[in-house]
C-alpha cells in the first residue's frame, strides 16, 4: 500500500507525495497505487489503442494532439489527454475507440498486452535541463489552494528534488535508463521514439513518421495542415483558449485553463541555471549518462 510522505529541501520547498515500492506518485493517483498498477497490468488493450509515454514536460500534450488528429482524420484541438495514472479502469474501458492515452509511468508498468506487441506506444524525450526549467514554470502556475497545500517550490529546491529523484514521477535519470533497457530488450515493433528537439526543428517530417508508424494513410495536404495546426505557437494559443476538460485541472488551477505550453524553446534552461548549478548538473549528468544510448542537445 502507498504511504503519504512529505519531502523538504534545504530552501524550504516541500511536496506531499505517495510512496510505493520505492517510487513516488502524485496524491491523485488512482486508489492505493498498488491495485491500480495491477489493473493496468491486466488491462484489455485494443488494436487501435495508442499510449503516449513521457517524463513530464517533454511534449506529452503536444504529441497527444498530433496523434489524435492522425488517428481521427480531424484537426480539432482536444486539450488534455486521458492519463492512465489518474483514471480508473471503468472509465478507461468506456472510452470510445480509437483511444489515445497518456502516462508518466515507465514501459515496465504498461499492460502485458502492450509489452507483447499489441497497440502502439509513442515516447518522446527532451533534454533534462529544459525539462526541469519547464517543470518549474509549470508548477508555479498551479495556484489553487488544494495544490498549494501539497506543494511549494523554489528553483533551488526543485533542482535539489530533481537531482535526487524525489519528484512525483521519480528520477529522470532512472526513467532514461529504463528506456535504454527497453530499446535493448523489447522485441516488438510497436514502440516509436521521438526527440523533442527534433520536433521543434522539423515538425513536418516527424508528422510523416508518426503517420507511417500509426498505419494511417493521409495525403500530403492533410499532413501539412496537421503540422501547421500543431506548431508550438498554435499550441500555446489553443491551450490558452481552452477550458480545462477534466477535474484534475480544476483542482490545481483557478482559471481552469491548461498551463502546459510555454515557449517550447531549446536552451531556455540558461535563464534559470546559475553557473555553479549548471556545472553541478553536468557532473551528475555525465556520470549517470555515461553508458546511455541517448545523446541530448541542450541548445
**pLDDT tens-digit profile of 13-71?**
999 999 999 999 988 899 999 999 999 999 999 999 999 999 999 999 899 999 999 99
The answer to whether residue 159 scores a pLDDT higher than 80 is yes
Tell me the average pLDDT of the chain: 90
| DSSP bridge partners of 195 | 125
> Closest by alpha carbon to 139, among 129, 126, 150, 123?
150
- Range with the lowest mean pLDDT among 56-70, 73-87, 152-166, 268-282? 73-87
Q: By the 8 A CB rule, do 261 and 231 touch?
A: no
Q: What is the pLDDT of residue 256?
A: 56
Q: By the 8 A CB rule, do 47 and 40 touch?
A: no
Q: By the 8 A CB rule, do 108 and 170 touch?
A: no
For 225, other C-beta atoms within 10 Å of its C-beta total: 14
| Average pLDDT value for residue range 97-103 | 97
d(CA 50, CA 61): 13
* 3-288: CATH superfamily: P-loop containing nucleotide triphosphate hydrolases (3.40.50.300)
Domain ranges for the chain, please list them. 3-288
pLDDT interval class at 82 (50, 70, 90): very high
The reply to whether the predicted model has a pTM over 0.75 is yes
Output the CA angle 238-240-246, nearest 5 degrees.
90
Gyration radius of the chain's alpha carbons = 19
Q: What is the pLDDT of residue 244?
A: 45
- Range with the lowest mean pLDDT among 18-32, 64-78, 139-153, 208-222? 139-153
Active site residues: 104
Residues in the chain: 299
The answer to whether residue 232 scores a pLDDT higher than 90 is no
Amino acid at each position: 500500500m502507498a504511504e503519504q510522505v512529505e519531502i523538504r529541501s534545504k530552501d524550504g520547498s516541500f511536496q506531499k507525495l505517495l510512496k510505493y515500492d520505492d517510487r513516488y506518485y502524485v496524491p491523485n493517483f488512482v486508489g492505493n497505487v498498488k491495485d491500480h498498477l495491477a489493473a493496468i497490468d491486466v488491462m484489455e488493450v485494443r488494436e487501435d489503442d495508442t499510449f503516449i509515454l513521457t517524463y513530464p514536460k517533454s511534449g506529452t500534450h503536444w504529441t497527444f494532439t498530433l496523434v489524435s488528429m492522425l488517428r481521427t482524420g480531424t484537426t480539432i484541438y482536444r486539450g488534455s489527454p486521458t492519463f492512465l495514472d489518474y483514471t480508473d479502469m471503468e472509465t478507461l474501458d468506456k472510452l470510445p475507440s480509437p483511444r489515445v492515452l497518456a502516462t508518466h509511468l515507465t514501459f515496465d508498468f504498461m499492460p502485458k498486452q502492450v509489452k507483447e506487441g499489441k497497440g502502439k506506444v509513442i515516447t518522446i524525450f527532451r533534454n533534462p535541463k529544459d525539462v526541469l526549467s519547464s517543470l518549474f514554470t509549470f508548477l508555479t502556475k498551479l495556484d489553487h489552494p488544494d495544490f498549494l497545500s501539497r506543494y511549494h517550490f523554489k528553483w533551488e529546491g526543485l533542482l535539489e528534488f530533481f537531482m535526487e529523484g524525489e519528484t512525483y514521477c521519480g528520477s529522470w535519470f532512472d526513467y532514461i535508463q529504463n528506456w535504454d533497457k527497453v530499446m535493448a530488450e523489447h522485441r516488438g515493433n510497436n514502440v516509436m521514439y521521438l526527440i523533442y528537439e527534433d520536433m521543434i526543428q522539423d515538425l513536418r517530417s516527424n508528422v510523416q513518421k508518426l503517420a507511417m508508424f500509426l498505419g494511417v494513410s493521409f495525403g500530403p495536404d492533410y499532413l501539412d495542415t496537421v503540422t501547421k495546426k500543431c506548431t508550438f505557437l498554435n499550441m500555446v494559443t489553443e491551450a490558452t483558449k481552452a477550458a480545462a476538460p477534466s477535474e484534475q485541472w480544476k483542482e490545481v488551477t483557478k482559471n481552469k485553463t491548461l498551463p502546459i505550453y510555454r515557449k517550447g524553446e531549446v536552451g531556455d534552461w540558461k535563464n534559470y541555471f546559475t553557473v555553479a548549478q549548471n556545472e553541478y548538473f553536468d557532473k551528475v549528468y555525465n556520470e549517470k549518462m555515461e553508458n546511455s544510448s541517448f545523446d541530448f542537445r541542450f541548445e
